[in-house]
């Protein structure tokens, strides 16, 4: 389990913890052009696992307009934290954090796998 801090151009691991028990993935609808991608690589740079999730820097907030109609407004936060749960392998050596930019991805950070306890 990783707790990551994010900004528009940086990512860092705030906390890492190995959690006992079976990994239980849950489905989340992800907006294709606004997603956060986490890649786990081995020592040779081969991809072992990829996770996609909604980018926590981009938020949609509900509000009622003057006529009482429910509307949404998109906001971009300057910083956010995200909890990343994934199965762990001793082969994992690096974490690549990427943001979706249109139909492509932009690398934000390449981080070493932190020591897990």
117 residues of the chain, pLDDT tens digit each: 788 888 988 898 878 877 666 655 556 667 677 889 999 999 999 999 999 888 899 888 898 989 989 998 989 999 999 888 888 888 999 999 999 887 889 999 999 988 765
DSSP state of 113: P
Dist CA 93 CA 30 (whole Å): 26
Nearest to 55, CA basis, from 73, 67, 38: 38
Residue found under tokens 């199965």: 87
Do the domain assignments include residue 117? no
How many domains, in total, are found in the chain? 1
Residue found under tokens 């079976």: 22
Identify any residues that bridge with 85 across adjacent strands, giving them in sequence order: none
Rounded to two decimals, the pTM is: 0.78
Nearest to 11, CA basis, from 54, 74, 56, 59: 56
Q: Which domain holds residue 91?
A: 2-21+28-112
């Amino acid at each position: 389990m990783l707790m990551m801090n994010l900004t528009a151009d940086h990512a860092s691991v705030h906390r890492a913890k190995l959690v006992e028990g079976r990994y239980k993935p849950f489905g989340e609808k992800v907006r294709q052009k606004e997603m956060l991608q986490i890649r786990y690589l081995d020592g040779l740079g081969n991809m072992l696992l990829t996770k996609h999730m909604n980018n926590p820097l981009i938020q949609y907030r509900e509000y009622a307009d003057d006529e009482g109609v429910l509307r949404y407004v998109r906001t971009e936060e300057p910083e956010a934290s995200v909890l990343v749960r994934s199965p762990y392998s001793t082969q994992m050596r690096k974490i690549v954090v990427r943001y979706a930019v249109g139909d492509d991805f932009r690398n934000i950070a390449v981080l070493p796998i932190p020591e897990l306890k």
